[in-house]
Amino acid sequence: MLNKLREAELRFIAIEEELQKPEVVSNQDEFKKLMREHKNLSPVIEKYREYKAVENEIEDLKSILDEESDSELHDMAEADYHSCKEKIEKIEEELKILLLPKDPNDDKNVIIEIRGGAGGEEAALFAYVLYRMYNMYADSMNYKTELISANETELGGFKEVTFMISGEGAYSRFKYESGVHRVQRVPETEASGRIHTSTATVAVLPEAEDVEIEINNSDLIIETIKSSGAGGQHVNKTESAIRLIHKPTGIVIECQDERSQYKNKDKAIKLLRTKLYDMKQSEQTEKIASERKNQVGTGDRSERIRTYNYPQGRVSDHRIGLTLYSLENFLNGDIGEMIDALATADTAEKLKGTQQD
């Protein structure tokens, strides 16, 4: 671990020197790349330098203990020595966490797809509830949300909805939401008051950058279509919606949120690039099967991850066994506690994996 930290500090110093060079400052791509690396290394180097300072203090206290015969000074030095030993052990644990491989997608924007699953109209209404929940949480984090496409039902639910959440660290906060979400409640349309169980699936995709996925125009079929949906004054009046077909993969994307063909096409291309990036990532992850053991359900979208029980006012995450009895607040976007718990569990699993290695 110490060798890694020494190498990281040398790299950190080299980056700081590079950032002072005029030719680097004038090259925006290189400058941004180095600034990103500098930012990622900063917490590690700050903690490592704290570690070295305490280590030096321990060495000084050892010398005092070896040389000092005065009882009072010896006792004071011994107390400080034990305190520093405890402190350095804590710093070592913190450094182990900081040195865990960082998910390269963590700082990216995310595209979230929610689809109503089993349960018909009730599932579509639940999909809307999840969409609203994520939007409210994004607002609380000062993230920006942007609707890409939506297939609404007559009662105000979503058969499917796709939207982007932009902001630093967005993927790191939403990546644990992929999977099947289950709701247990009495539907508004149910006269007998029986509790129904419905589901919605959530897919969280890191936004792909242009340099990561190249799309050839010759691989695309782009069609203009009339907007469709549950209603609205602009629906079915203009052919502003876009249907995009990627011939090599067969992926079909429809985008109709904007009134402009150009804007819909831009959003559709962005979503296609993200889906292709997700496919590429999935292939890589499958090649490294052992990596799955160190994840808290961030990839398998067929996995039932959470139950929302209205009668009991609780929400339970099945991956970490956490139940919160604050369903109303949770559905109003107060999901930070759950996300923090999932991130902590994920870190613990990864630490366990490095110790086994």
Residue type, 165: I
Task: Report which of residues 194 and 181 the model is more confident about.
Answer: 181
Which residues partner with 112 through β-bridges?
163, 204
User: N- to C-terminal Cα distance for the chain?
Assistant: 14
Nearest partner of 193 among 311, 314, 309, judged by Cα: 311
Cβ atoms of 315 and 324 within 8 Å: the answer is: yes
| pLDDT reported for residue 336 | 94
Fold of 217-284: Double Stranded RNA Binding Domain (3.30.160)
Question: Which of these CATH numbers, 2.20.28, 2.60.40, 1.20.120, 1.20.58, describes 2-98?
Answer: 1.20.58
Q: Domain ranges in the chain?
A: 2-98, 110-211+296-351, 217-284
| pLDDT reported for residue 191 | 63
DSSP 8-state secondary structure symbol assigned to residue 53: H
Relative to beta strand 241-246, strand 251-255 is antiparallel
Helix (H, G, I), strand (E, B) or coil at 66: helix
Supply φ then ψ for residue 22, to 5 degrees. -60, -35
Which residues partner with 113 through β-bridges?
162, 203
| pLDDT reported for residue 302 | 63
Task: Report which of residues 311 and 260 the model is more confident about.
Answer: 311
Supply φ then ψ for residue 76, to 5 degrees. -65, -45
pLDDT average, residue stretch 236-244: 66
Distance CA 141, CA 168 (A): 10
Residue type, 153: T
Residue 83 has pLDDT above 90, yes or no: yes
Residue 154 has pLDDT above 70, yes or no: yes
Distance CA 318, CA 187 (A): 23
Supply φ then ψ for residue 41, to 5 degrees. -80, -25
Task: Report which of residues 147 and 354 the model is more confident about.
Answer: 147
For 296, the enclosing helix (H) or strand (E) is none
Sheet holding 251-255, edge to edge: 220-225, 241-246, 251-255
Q: Please state the separation of Cα 101 from the chain's center in Å.
A: 15
Relative to beta strand 158-166, strand 144-152 is antiparallel
pTM over 0.75, yes/no: no
| pLDDT reported for residue 135 | 96
Residue 10 has pLDDT above 90, yes or no: yes
| pLDDT reported for residue 173 | 94
Distance CA 138, CA 95 (A): 30
Q: Please state the separation of Cα 165 from the chain's center in Å.
A: 10
Distance CA 52, CA 109 (A): 36
| pLDDT reported for residue 232 | 42
Instruction: Give the angle subtended at the CA of 174 by the CAs of 94 and 148, to the nearest 5°.
Output: 150
110-211+296-351 and 217-284 in the same fold:
no
| pLDDT reported for residue 212 | 61
| pLDDT reported for residue 120 | 86
Whole-angstrom Cα Rg for the chain: 26
> Domain 110-211+296-351, CATH 3.30.70.1660 — does that match?
yes
pLDDT average, residue stretch 69-96: 88
Cβ atoms of 167 and 291 within 8 Å: the answer is: no
Distance CA 78, CA 61 (A): 8
What's the burial of 201, exposed, middle or buried (CB within 10 Å: 0-12/13-18/19+)? buried
Distance CA 121, CA 112 (A): 21
For 42, the enclosing helix (H) or strand (E) is helix 28-67
